[in-house]
């Protein structure tokens, strides 16, 4: 599979046209319909954007660092001229967006070409991408298994080699979980670090946008485009590393723990305070904010919601405000305590999703010795990190011939550069990196 930076370099050098990349991407998407990863193909728009890139090059202009790179966005980013549905039939006939989301505007300014909107759990409420309207997104590594969620479509198209990158959102793990299950990179940035204008919210005090890629180089490039700032250099040998213990070493695949210990065998194991309580409070805040956001729509048209989403949103709408306020107060204390515990470290190591992708036919996982729904519990290791607002990068373990697993690299606020530097070092060792899925990439050969 070609990386986004390589596609852009080839387009800018005139080795291939942007329109050719778009046509290959469109053809690949048509052949991969069985993945249920795409909600809308934007062929006319993609061809028009590609033509603009090619025209700029023909006139001697540089279209940008992502010139001609096709990509997709989770189906809750505003796309001008289309209703923003957030994966729900409830808003299929809503007024079309009058502007693109800010992140899309920045990517277009860098020459990237928007090709599709991508499947998700309705209103981003879940870790499975089981969608009543658009179907269940399948994992390209094994189509009988989940791709994770709620940004499952965004992960699946990248893991399948159909696009070099995509955008998703992460509230409690909705980027890191599918990245782990599909064997790619996924970044949840420091809360508020990337533009959220024009993104349909779920729980705004947690929501963040972020990219999926197949390499650290692509992640670095897209980060620079979305932030407008270069990634400061950081020497991985100078980074102070710790391993997260306690609940972060429970309910993890043995290969994840072995990899963490191999990466940093002498790093201290530290524990964050009251992790179980933090996860419970995160559930409560998410439910309250999501329920409040959709309360009016639930009162008007409850039966138009996905049943699995409706019940959870209704429960959230019934939570008392005093309980929500108590959870917010605890979060403030938890963040302060966490800052003290991690003050001496730049990178924390932890599992991402706790296991390989569950079967679609039986979407459950084992937590504390019992079977629980994957849709709510795949985020057991990601949710407490969202609670802190810290940045976290899911990196894929290299596991030839086996289903993917990922690790979280967790940093300090604003510490994305350190995470990317450390991930790049791991990529160079061969311990991590994206593996092939067996699905042919539409962009793997330019000549």
Cβ atoms within 10 Å, residue 292: 16
CB 68 within 8 A of CB 17: yes
pLDDT value of residue 232: 72
Give me the mean pLDDT over the 334-350 stretch.
Answer: 97
At 132, is the secondary structure helix, strand, or coil? Answer: coil
Residue 205 appears among annotated catalytic residues: no
Place of tokens 């605890």: 330
- CA 287 remoteness from chain centre: 20
Domain at 229, CATH number: 3.90.1300.10
In the predicted structure, residue 446 carries a pLDDT above the cut 70: no
150 catalytic? Reply is yes
Say if CB 270 and CB 343 are below 8 A apart: no
**Within a domain: 102:** yes
pLDDT in tens, 166-221: 999 999 999 999 999 999 999 999 999 999 999 999 999 999 999 999 999 999 99
289 domain-assigned: no
Q: Residue 425 domain-assigned? A: yes
| pLDDT of res. 235 | 73
- Which residue of the set 88, 150, 166, 180 is catalytic? 150
Is 446 within a domain?
Answer: no
Q: In this predicted structure, what is the pLDDT of residue 299?
A: 95
CA neighbor of 282 nearest in space, from 316, 317, 244, 246: 316
The reply to whether 298 falls in a domain is no
Q: Is the pLDDT of residue 442 over 50?
A: no
pLDDT for 445: 39
- CA atoms of 389 and 331, how far apart (whole Å): 10
Distance from CA of residue 87 to its chain's centroid?
16
Query: What is the pLDDT at residue 1?
Result: 54
Q: Is residue 234 part of a domain?
A: yes
In a domain, 291, yes or no: no
Instruction: Note the pLDDT tens digit of each residue in 399-440.
Output: 999 999 999 999 999 999 999 999 999 999 999 997 544 333
- Within-domain flag for 283: no
Q: What is the Rg, in whole angstroms, of the alpha carbon atoms belonging to the chain?
A: 20
Which of these is catalytic: 74, 215, 386, 394?
74
* C-alpha to C-alpha distance for 89 and 71, rounded to whole angstroms: 24
Which one is catalytic: 151, 166, 174, 386? Answer: 174
Joined together, the tokens standing for residue 355 give 């296991």
Count: domains in the chain: 1
Count of beta carbons in the 10 Å neighbourhood of residue 41: 17
Q: Could you give the CA distance from residue 422 to residue 29 in angstroms, rounded to a whole number? A: 33
Quick one: pLDDT at residue 444? 36
Q: Are 62 and 12 in contact (CB under 8 A)?
A: yes
pLDDT in tens, 355-400: 999 999 999 999 999 999 999 999 999 999 999 999 999 999 999 9
443 — pLDDT class (breaks 50, 70, 90) = very low
Does residue 394 carry a catalytic annotation? no
Domain housing 394: 4-278+304-429
Cis peptide before 150 (omega within 30 of 0): yes
Coil, strand or helix: which one is 213?
strand
- The pTM assigned to this predicted structure is 0.96
| Tokens describing residue 340 | 């003290």
pLDDT, position 447? 37
Q: Does residue 329 register a pLDDT over 70?
A: yes
How does the average pLDDT of the chain come out, rounded?
A: 95
Percent with pLDDT over 70 in the chain:
96
Give the tens place of pLDDT for each residue, 133-167.
999 999 999 999 999 999 999 999 999 999 999 99
Q: What is the model's pLDDT at position 2?
A: 84
The pLDDT assigned to 236 comes to: 75
Residue 169 is predicted with a pLDDT of 98
């Amino acid at each position: 599979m070609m990386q986004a930076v390589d596609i852009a370099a080839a387009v800018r050098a005139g080795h291939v046209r942007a329109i050719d990349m778009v046509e290959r991407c469109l053809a690949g998407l048509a052949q991969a319909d069985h993945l249920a990863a795409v909600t809308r193909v934007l062929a006319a728009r993609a061809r028009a954007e590609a033509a603009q890139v090619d025209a700029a090059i023909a006139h001697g202009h540089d279209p940008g660092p992502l010139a001609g790179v096709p990509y997709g966005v989770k189906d809750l980013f505003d796309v001008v001229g289309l209703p923003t549905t957030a994966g729900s039939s409830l808003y299929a006939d809503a007024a079309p967006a009058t502007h693109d989301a800010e992140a899309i505007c920045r990517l277009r300014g860098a020459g990237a070409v928007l090709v599709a909107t991508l499947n998700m759990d309705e209103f981003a409420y879940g870790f499975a991408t089981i969608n009543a309207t658009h179907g269940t997104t399948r994992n390209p590594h094994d189509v009988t298994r989940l791709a994770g969620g709620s940004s499952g479509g965004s992960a699946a198209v990248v893991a399948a080699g159909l696009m070099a990158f995509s955008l998703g959102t992460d509230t409690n793990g909705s980027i890191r979980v599918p990245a782990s299950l599909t064997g790619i990179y996924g970044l949840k940035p420091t809360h508020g670090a990337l533009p959220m204008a024009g993104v349909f919210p779920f729980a705004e005090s947690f929501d963040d946008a972020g990219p999926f890629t197949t390499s650290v180089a692509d992640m670095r490039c897209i980060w620079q485009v979305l932030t407008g700032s270069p990634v400061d250099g950081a020497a991985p040998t100078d980074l102070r590393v710790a391993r997260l213990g306690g609940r972060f070493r429970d309910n993890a695949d043995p290969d994840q723990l072995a990899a963490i210990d191999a990466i940093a065998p002498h790093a201290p194991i530290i524990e964050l305070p009251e992790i179980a309580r933090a996860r419970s409070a995160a559930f409560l805040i998410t439910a309250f904010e999501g329920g409040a956001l959709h309360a009016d729509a639930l009162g008007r048209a409850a039966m138009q919601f996905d049943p699995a989403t409706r019940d959870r949103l209704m429960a959230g709408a019934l939570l008392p405000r005093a309980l929500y306020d108590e959870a917010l107060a605890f979060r403030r204390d938890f963040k302060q305590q966490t800052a003290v515990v991690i003050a001496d470290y730049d990178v924390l190591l932890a599992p991402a999703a706790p296991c390989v992708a569950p079967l679609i036919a039986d979407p459950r996982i084992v937590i504390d010795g019992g079977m629980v729904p994957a849709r709510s519990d795949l985020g057991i290791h990601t949710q407490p990190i969202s609670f802190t607002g810290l940045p976290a990068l899911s990196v894929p373990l290299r596991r030839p011939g086996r289903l993917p697993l990922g690790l979280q690299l967790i940093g300090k606020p604003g510490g994305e550069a350190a995470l990317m530097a450390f991930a790049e070092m791991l990529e160079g060792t061969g311990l991590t990196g994206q593996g092939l899925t067996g699905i042919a990439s539409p962009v793997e050969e330019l000549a």
